[in-house]
Protein backbone atom coordinates (compact mmCIF):
# COMPACT_ATOMS: atom_id res chain seq x y z
CA UNK A 1 0.00 0.00 0.00
CA UNK A 2 1.18 3.45 -0.86
CA UNK A 3 0.42 7.11 -0.38
CA UNK A 4 -1.22 8.91 -3.28
CA UNK A 5 -0.46 12.49 -4.29
CA UNK A 6 -3.34 14.20 -6.04
CA UNK A 7 -2.69 17.46 -7.87
CA UNK A 8 -3.29 19.17 -11.21
CA UNK A 9 -1.48 21.89 -13.20
CA UNK A 10 -4.75 23.84 -13.45
CA UNK A 11 -4.43 24.59 -9.72
CA UNK A 12 -1.57 26.90 -10.77
CA UNK A 13 -3.89 28.78 -13.09
CA UNK A 14 -5.74 30.57 -10.29
CA UNK A 15 -3.61 33.69 -10.41
CA UNK A 16 -4.27 36.10 -7.55
CA UNK A 17 -3.36 39.81 -7.69
CA UNK A 18 0.28 40.90 -7.24
CA UNK A 19 1.33 40.66 -3.60
CA UNK A 20 -1.47 38.28 -2.58
CA UNK A 21 -0.35 35.69 -0.02
CA UNK A 22 -2.28 32.80 -1.62
CA UNK A 23 -0.29 32.60 -4.86
CA UNK A 24 0.67 29.91 -7.38
CA UNK A 25 4.25 29.87 -6.04
CA UNK A 26 2.89 28.13 -2.92
CA UNK A 27 1.87 25.07 -4.90
CA UNK A 28 5.08 25.16 -6.93
CA UNK A 29 7.07 25.10 -3.67
CA UNK A 30 5.02 22.16 -2.39
CA UNK A 31 5.43 20.17 -5.61
CA UNK A 32 9.16 20.91 -5.72
CA UNK A 33 9.53 19.62 -2.16
CA UNK A 34 7.72 16.41 -3.14
CA UNK A 35 9.79 15.89 -6.29
CA UNK A 36 12.99 14.82 -4.53
CA UNK A 37 14.00 11.11 -4.31
CA UNK A 38 12.58 10.71 -0.78
CA UNK A 39 9.12 11.00 -2.33
CA UNK A 40 9.67 8.81 -5.39
CA UNK A 41 7.30 6.17 -3.97
CA UNK A 42 4.31 8.52 -3.98
CA UNK A 43 1.63 7.35 -6.37
CA UNK A 44 1.03 10.48 -8.43
CA UNK A 45 -2.50 10.95 -9.69
CA UNK A 46 -4.24 13.72 -11.61
CA UNK A 47 -7.01 15.49 -9.70
CA UNK A 48 -10.27 15.30 -11.67
CA UNK A 49 -12.77 18.14 -11.93
CA UNK A 50 -15.43 18.03 -9.23
CA UNK A 51 -18.90 17.75 -10.71
CA UNK A 52 -21.78 20.07 -9.96
CA UNK A 53 -23.36 17.27 -7.91
CA UNK A 54 -20.22 17.16 -5.74
CA UNK A 55 -20.35 20.91 -5.10
CA UNK A 56 -24.05 20.69 -4.26
CA UNK A 57 -23.25 18.30 -1.40
CA UNK A 58 -22.01 21.34 0.53
CA UNK A 59 -23.33 24.41 -1.26
CA UNK A 60 -26.71 25.57 -2.56
CA UNK A 61 -27.12 25.96 -6.29
CA UNK A 62 -27.10 29.75 -5.89
CA UNK A 63 -23.57 29.70 -4.45
CA UNK A 64 -22.22 27.61 -7.32
CA UNK A 65 -23.98 29.81 -9.86
CA UNK A 66 -22.67 32.99 -8.22
CA UNK A 67 -19.06 31.76 -8.37
CA UNK A 68 -19.46 30.74 -12.01
CA UNK A 69 -21.06 34.08 -12.89
CA UNK A 70 -18.31 36.05 -11.13
CA UNK A 71 -15.47 34.60 -13.24
CA UNK A 72 -14.28 37.35 -15.62
CA UNK A 73 -12.92 36.75 -19.11
CA UNK A 74 -10.00 39.06 -18.33
CA UNK A 75 -8.49 40.59 -15.23
CA UNK A 76 -9.59 39.65 -11.73
CA UNK A 77 -12.70 40.28 -9.65
CA UNK A 78 -12.69 40.66 -5.85
CA UNK A 79 -15.47 38.66 -4.16
CA UNK A 80 -14.32 40.19 -0.86
CA UNK A 81 -11.10 42.01 0.16
CA UNK A 82 -9.21 38.67 0.36
CA UNK A 83 -10.86 36.47 -2.24
CA UNK A 84 -10.33 37.01 -5.95
CA UNK A 85 -11.29 35.15 -9.10
CA UNK A 86 -9.95 35.31 -12.63
CA UNK A 87 -10.31 33.21 -15.78
CA UNK A 88 -8.47 30.17 -14.41
CA UNK A 89 -10.06 30.19 -10.97
CA UNK A 90 -13.05 27.95 -11.64
CA UNK A 91 -10.97 25.13 -13.14
CA UNK A 92 -8.53 25.39 -10.22
CA UNK A 93 -11.34 25.30 -7.67
CA UNK A 94 -12.99 22.32 -9.38
CA UNK A 95 -9.66 20.46 -9.41
CA UNK A 96 -9.16 21.36 -5.72
CA UNK A 97 -12.53 19.90 -4.74
CA UNK A 98 -12.16 17.03 -7.21
CA UNK A 99 -8.82 16.00 -5.69
CA UNK A 100 -10.48 15.35 -2.36
CA UNK A 101 -13.33 13.39 -3.94
CA UNK A 102 -10.92 11.20 -5.92
CA UNK A 103 -8.67 10.73 -2.90
CA UNK A 104 -11.61 9.60 -0.76
CA UNK A 105 -12.63 7.18 -3.53
CA UNK A 106 -9.09 5.77 -3.84
CA UNK A 107 -8.59 5.34 -0.11
CA UNK A 108 -12.02 3.80 0.49
CA UNK A 109 -11.49 1.44 -2.47
CA UNK A 110 -8.27 0.26 -0.83
CA UNK A 111 -6.18 1.29 -3.82
CA UNK A 112 -3.88 3.38 -1.61
CA UNK A 113 -3.39 3.59 2.15
CA UNK A 114 -3.77 7.35 2.43
CA UNK A 115 -3.48 10.45 0.27
CA UNK A 116 -2.30 14.05 0.15
CA UNK A 117 -4.03 16.59 -2.09
CA UNK A 118 -1.64 19.35 -3.20
CA UNK A 119 -4.20 21.85 -4.42
CA UNK A 120 -5.26 25.45 -4.35
CA UNK A 121 -7.40 27.46 -3.83
CA UNK A 122 -7.87 26.22 -0.27
CA UNK A 123 -11.36 25.53 1.05
CA UNK A 124 -11.93 25.69 4.79
CA UNK A 125 -13.16 29.30 4.93
CA UNK A 126 -15.80 28.84 2.20
CA UNK A 127 -19.18 28.75 3.93
CA UNK A 128 -22.19 27.03 2.40
CA UNK A 129 -23.42 30.27 0.88
CA UNK A 130 -20.35 32.51 0.91
CA UNK A 131 -16.83 32.37 -0.57
CA UNK A 132 -14.27 33.97 1.76
CA UNK A 133 -10.68 33.92 2.96
CA UNK A 134 -9.12 32.81 -0.37
CA UNK A 135 -11.64 29.92 -0.56
CA UNK A 136 -14.40 29.28 -3.14
CA UNK A 137 -15.71 25.80 -2.30
CA UNK A 138 -15.45 23.74 0.90
CA UNK A 139 -13.04 21.13 -0.45
CA UNK A 140 -12.73 19.00 2.68
CA UNK A 141 -16.39 19.33 3.72
CA UNK A 142 -17.35 18.16 0.23
CA UNK A 143 -15.03 15.16 0.60
CA UNK A 144 -16.61 14.27 3.94
CA UNK A 145 -20.15 14.51 2.60
CA UNK A 146 -19.14 12.42 -0.43
CA UNK A 147 -17.79 9.71 1.88
CA UNK A 148 -21.06 9.71 3.83
CA UNK A 149 -23.55 9.99 0.99
CA UNK A 150 -21.80 8.09 -1.82
CA UNK A 151 -19.86 5.49 0.16
CA UNK A 152 -22.33 5.06 2.98
CA UNK A 153 -19.94 5.76 5.84
CA UNK A 154 -21.55 6.69 9.15
CA UNK A 155 -18.73 8.58 10.90
CA UNK A 156 -16.14 10.83 9.24
CA UNK A 157 -13.75 13.04 11.21
CA UNK A 158 -12.20 16.25 9.91
CA UNK A 159 -9.19 17.61 11.76
CA UNK A 160 -7.94 21.09 10.91
CA UNK A 161 -4.57 22.37 12.15
CA UNK A 162 -4.45 25.44 9.91
CA UNK A 163 -3.71 28.51 12.04
CA UNK A 164 -7.04 30.03 11.00
CA UNK A 165 -10.35 28.60 12.17
CA UNK A 166 -12.15 26.57 9.50
CA UNK A 167 -15.33 28.61 9.75
CA UNK A 168 -16.55 27.32 6.40
CA UNK A 169 -16.20 23.67 7.33
CA UNK A 170 -17.92 24.41 10.63
CA UNK A 171 -20.74 26.30 8.87
CA UNK A 172 -21.36 23.53 6.32
CA UNK A 173 -21.27 20.73 8.90
CA UNK A 174 -22.82 22.46 11.96
CA UNK A 175 -25.95 20.26 11.72
CA UNK A 176 -24.19 17.10 10.47
CA UNK A 177 -24.03 14.56 13.29
CA UNK A 178 -22.12 12.09 11.10
CA UNK A 179 -19.08 14.40 11.00
CA UNK A 180 -16.83 15.36 13.90
CA UNK A 181 -14.96 18.58 13.08
CA UNK A 182 -11.97 19.39 15.30
CA UNK A 183 -9.75 22.45 14.98
CA UNK A 184 -6.78 24.09 16.62
CA UNK A 185 -6.24 27.68 15.54
CA UNK A 186 -4.95 31.01 16.78
CA UNK A 187 -7.48 33.27 18.48
CA UNK A 188 -7.93 36.17 18.11
CA UNK A 189 -7.30 35.95 14.38
CA UNK A 190 -9.21 35.92 11.11
CA UNK A 191 -12.03 34.88 10.67
CA UNK A 192 -12.99 35.39 14.34
CA UNK A 193 -14.96 32.17 14.86
CA UNK A 194 -13.77 29.02 16.65
CA UNK A 195 -14.45 29.74 20.33
CA UNK A 196 -14.21 26.69 22.58
CA UNK A 197 -17.94 27.10 23.25
CA UNK A 198 -18.94 26.51 19.60
CA UNK A 199 -19.98 22.85 19.68
CA UNK A 200 -22.28 22.32 16.68
CA UNK A 201 -25.90 21.19 16.75
CA UNK A 202 -24.97 17.66 17.88
CA UNK A 203 -21.83 18.31 19.90
CA UNK A 204 -20.02 17.44 16.66
CA UNK A 205 -17.55 20.34 16.71
CA UNK A 206 -14.49 20.69 18.93
CA UNK A 207 -12.62 23.99 18.84
CA UNK A 208 -9.34 24.43 20.70
CA UNK A 209 -8.20 28.04 20.21
CA UNK A 210 -4.61 28.98 21.04
CA UNK A 211 -3.30 32.44 21.97
CA UNK A 212 -0.85 34.35 19.76
CA UNK A 213 2.70 33.27 20.55
CA UNK A 214 1.74 29.72 21.54
CA UNK A 215 4.50 27.22 20.82
CA UNK A 216 4.60 23.52 20.05
CA UNK A 217 4.04 22.46 23.67
CA UNK A 218 0.72 24.31 23.89
CA UNK A 219 -0.32 23.00 20.49
CA UNK A 220 0.46 19.41 21.48
CA UNK A 221 -1.33 19.83 24.81
CA UNK A 222 -4.47 21.04 23.02
CA UNK A 223 -4.40 17.94 20.84
CA UNK A 224 -3.70 15.60 23.74
CA UNK A 225 -6.34 17.00 26.08
CA UNK A 226 -9.11 18.13 23.71
CA UNK A 227 -8.92 16.82 20.18
CA UNK A 228 -7.43 13.34 20.34
CA UNK A 229 -9.81 12.16 23.10
CA UNK A 230 -12.80 13.46 21.09
CA UNK A 231 -11.53 11.70 17.97
CA UNK A 232 -10.96 8.50 19.89
CA UNK A 233 -14.51 8.57 21.31
CA UNK A 234 -16.00 9.28 17.87
CA UNK A 235 -14.33 6.21 16.27
CA UNK A 236 -14.17 7.68 12.74
CA UNK A 237 -14.32 5.36 9.74
CA UNK A 238 -12.27 7.87 7.73
CA UNK A 239 -10.12 10.82 8.81
CA UNK A 240 -9.77 13.92 6.65
CA UNK A 241 -7.15 16.56 7.39
CA UNK A 242 -7.40 20.26 6.58
CA UNK A 243 -3.64 20.59 6.41
CA UNK A 244 -2.68 24.23 6.71
CA UNK A 245 0.90 25.00 7.66
CA UNK A 246 0.50 28.69 8.56
CA UNK A 247 0.90 27.95 12.28
CA UNK A 248 4.65 27.70 11.52
CA UNK A 249 6.71 30.32 13.32
CA UNK A 250 7.94 31.77 10.02
CA UNK A 251 4.47 32.34 8.60
CA UNK A 252 3.66 35.99 7.87
CA UNK A 253 -0.12 35.76 8.48
CA UNK A 254 -0.22 34.62 12.11
CA UNK A 255 1.70 34.38 15.37
CA UNK A 256 1.79 30.74 16.45
CA UNK A 257 5.28 29.30 16.77
CA UNK A 258 5.20 25.73 15.50
CA UNK A 259 8.02 23.96 13.68
CA UNK A 260 8.13 21.12 11.16
CA UNK A 261 8.48 18.64 14.03
CA UNK A 262 5.12 19.71 15.45
CA UNK A 263 3.37 19.04 12.14
CA UNK A 264 5.06 15.64 11.94
CA UNK A 265 3.96 14.92 15.53
CA UNK A 266 0.31 15.82 14.92
CA UNK A 267 0.28 13.78 11.72
CA UNK A 268 1.55 10.78 13.70
CA UNK A 269 -1.16 11.21 16.32
CA UNK A 270 -3.89 11.53 13.66
CA UNK A 271 -2.58 8.38 11.97
CA UNK A 272 -2.67 6.61 15.37
CA UNK A 273 -6.40 7.30 15.63
CA UNK A 274 -6.92 6.28 12.00
CA UNK A 275 -5.03 3.03 12.60
CA UNK A 276 -7.23 2.16 15.57
CA UNK A 277 -10.60 3.03 14.03
CA UNK A 278 -10.37 3.76 10.30
CA UNK A 279 -8.13 1.07 8.90
CA UNK A 280 -5.47 3.77 8.60
CA UNK A 281 -7.56 5.65 6.04
CA UNK A 282 -6.48 9.30 5.95
CA UNK A 283 -6.99 11.94 3.25
CA UNK A 284 -5.09 15.18 3.79
CA UNK A 285 -5.77 18.33 1.78
CA UNK A 286 -3.64 21.46 1.64
CA UNK A 287 -5.12 24.62 3.16
CA UNK A 288 -2.85 27.56 4.14
CA UNK A 289 0.88 28.14 4.60
CA UNK A 290 2.38 31.36 3.25
CA UNK A 291 6.11 31.27 3.93
CA UNK A 292 7.29 29.28 0.93
CA UNK A 293 10.31 27.71 2.61
CA UNK A 294 8.41 26.74 5.76
CA UNK A 295 5.47 25.49 3.72
CA UNK A 296 7.70 23.23 1.65
CA UNK A 297 9.48 21.85 4.73
CA UNK A 298 6.22 21.26 6.63
CA UNK A 299 4.52 19.51 3.72
CA UNK A 300 7.59 17.30 3.34
CA UNK A 301 7.47 16.39 7.04
CA UNK A 302 3.71 15.75 6.89
CA UNK A 303 3.80 13.60 3.74
CA UNK A 304 6.82 11.67 5.00
CA UNK A 305 4.75 10.55 7.99
CA UNK A 306 1.82 9.61 5.74
CA UNK A 307 4.17 7.49 3.62
CA UNK A 308 5.77 5.80 6.64
CA UNK A 309 2.38 5.04 8.15
CA UNK A 310 0.83 3.96 4.87
CA UNK A 311 3.70 1.73 3.77
ZN1 LIG B 1 -4.81 29.58 7.29
Distance 187 CA to ligand 1 centre (A): 12
Distance 145 CA to ligand 1 centre (A): 22
- Per-residue pLDDT, 1: 81
Peptide bond into 309 cis (omega under 30): no
Distance 197 CA to ligand 1 centre (A): 21
- Per-residue pLDDT, 292: 98
End-to-end CA distance of the chain, in Å? 6
Q: Which of 115, 132, 227 is nearest to 172 (CA)?
A: 132
- Per-residue pLDDT, 135: 98
Q: List residues, by chain if needed, whose CB lies under 5 Å from ion ligand 1.
A: 162, 164, 244, 246, 288
In angstroms, rounded to a whole number, what is the distance separating the alpha carbons of residues 236 and 177? 12
Distance 125 CA to ligand 1 centre (A): 9
Distances (CA, A) of 256 to 50, 204, 246, 250, 300: 33, 26, 8, 9, 20
Distance 54 CA to ligand 1 centre (A): 24
Distance 263 CA to ligand 1 centre (A): 14
DSSP string, 134-201: TBSS-HHHHHHHHHHHTT--S-EEEEE-SSS--HHHHHHHTT-TTEEEEEEEESS-TT----TT---T
- Per-residue pLDDT, 311: 84
- Per-residue pLDDT, 28: 98
Distance 95 CA to ligand 1 centre (A): 20
In angstroms, rounded to a whole number, what is the distance separating the alpha carbons of residues 263 and 35? 20
Distances (CA, A) of 215 to 167, 241, 257: 23, 21, 5
Distance 189 CA to ligand 1 centre (A): 10
DSSP 5: E
Distance 111 CA to ligand 1 centre (A): 30
Q: Which residue positions in the chain have pLDDT lower than 70?
A: none
- Per-residue pLDDT, 69: 98
**Active-site residue set:** 125
Q: Which of 101, 98, 67, 76 is nearest to 22 (CA)?
A: 76
**What tens digit of pLDDT does each residue of 2-28 get?**
999 999 999 999 999 999 999 999 999
* Residue length of the chain: 311
In angstroms, rounded to a whole number, what is the distance separating the alpha carbons of residues 247 and 184? 10
Cβ contact 163:187 at 8 Å: no
**What tens digit of pLDDT does each residue of 256-296 get?**
999 999 999 999 999 999 999 999 999 999 999 999 999 99
Cβ contact 32:145 at 8 Å: no
- Per-residue pLDDT, 232: 98
Amino acid sequence: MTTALFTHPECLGHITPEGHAERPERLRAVLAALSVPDFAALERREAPLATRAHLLLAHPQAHVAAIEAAIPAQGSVALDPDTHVMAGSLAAALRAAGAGIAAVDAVLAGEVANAFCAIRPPGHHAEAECPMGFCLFGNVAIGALHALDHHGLERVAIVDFDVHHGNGTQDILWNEARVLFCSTHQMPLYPGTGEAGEHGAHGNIVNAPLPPGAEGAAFRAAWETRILPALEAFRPELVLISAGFDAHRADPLAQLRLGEEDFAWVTERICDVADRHSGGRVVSTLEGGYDLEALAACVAAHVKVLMERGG
